[in-house]
Structure 1
């Protein structure tokens, strides 16, 4: 699965194209460039140091030209409206929306603009059914609308709950699900902000979405748009070929699951440290995120994460005896070619610096069970 990263054309670093950026450059006298994060058709994204608030931020630099500048302004305006709506829900209504995603962010347009949007959408759908590649239709749909005058509405409160009385432990559509929800911990209004941040990442990554979607659908998946969308999102929307490879490998994973297989992540807690409940929860979170990030850095193992996700992202927390036990389990897991991540605590609270707190292991259930199958569940 090599070659997923989009590479912009150096020739586009010119008037009307990408803005040339160097490490150490300063934006707006405040944001100093640290390194490049990525790019898309409309922009590049840079990791910067906020010299005022002393924190790291991501800065999106749009291409030159009036149309790109307007698109960037529209994007910021829409996001501001979403955040304003969430602030009203959280502060005034004391409501957690619990399902922020693109489908639940609606734009109110006038009748003339609506008819044009419907016409263009029908043309786009017909082009897919006929196997035609007509990129640009969806991207240009809103050109006939004044986005700055649109009203933005947050829709579908079917999963919403009170801030003081959560109704369910499992909320949010999975790609937009907050970390605390994934770990089964208590959640509140920041869960909505996490989902909104995921929306922002989509805006960063989906610049070439339509072109890649049409290419992917042309490879034989025209009857399952949602699967095509998901494959593109998981591969960063940078290559139809990579998305197709991921999609078909996902089908193989589903076939294996139907045959009794499956994937899971097991988190082994060092019970010899006598950590408190909160400390254990934090360390389990470190282990899960650490293992996930480790796999994302290795292109040869990314498929495993996708297959794990397809199987429901199953996670099990079990008890380990002590540090030596965790190290023995890690050695066994590595001998079976299972990815692992062993957390060493910084020593700020409860345990000594360098203490091994939690071991994370992921892989096919049958193989993982050879390592952790006899361990007791944490209760």
Structure 2
């Protein structure tokens, strides 16, 4: 072995960085932690290619609770990560619109959100039109609007701040690609990198994003997590859109401000499989689907200028679009931080804290996250999140 660590974390983007941050912050943890990342430029990372937004509008209480902690972490980032860290937090709100068919789910979700203390208002078409005059509400029956606690931020600054603070607290960051995970019976004992380096461990955390299923497979563990391509288009609308929030349309597209511009996207067709190394922008998706729907909902968007676009990968849990967090029930020193299906960036602080607590205390103390345990994957028992964007 080149070296031994109490904890090896496979994946150094937002999940791995959050786990390292909370482990090294925890006085109950006295071991050494290493974070292994194959691409330290993060040029194709889900973290840096995301829309970097935070919401409370979920259908499952635990998702709301995780994002509420993410909100607290981001609002207090300077105290947690240093006075020079500026996440550019903009509390612009989410607006999730519903047609007649979608109204029952929107209202049911809103009841869950209210019970969890999320500051979400349910607006009728008249109130929507009065609040957002540029919005076409002719086929809309309701909208859920985040009055506070929802918005967007700088993902690069968030990742950089977490990694730098974790390193200052003692975490070791290693550039390399894990190609083999060593397992002896029901214990993980180490990992080997593509360049031949080998590291022993007392525990291993899978924080590999879209590669999470592949990393689990190295340990002989099945995990239904794959990448899914998502394209983001940067637009300039010639007409001002006052108070534009992050708007989610029943047709599937979303749009939000980004400085002087707007960014938007639409999910790829569900039948599309793992994109592998495909980061090509799907221009027909924008021209044939996104733009017509966008212009219908916001008529001013009939005249836009496309500035640029990029493609990134979601880590999608194919079972139920929800995270898998915590230890394997039989291989107790293998921990999951996988399958967040588009809401991982905002939930990374809660997930990182939970992993640190599982490793040091044997359970997630701050939040009960048992609903996201691997047991449901084994049983093929989905616990679906209905509000996936």
TM-score computed with the length of structure 2 as normaliser: 0.22
Larger RCO, structure (CA 8 Å, separation 6 or more): 2
* Structure number with larger C-alpha Rg: 1
Structure with more of its chain in strand, by fraction: 2
Structure with more of its chain in helix, by fraction: 1
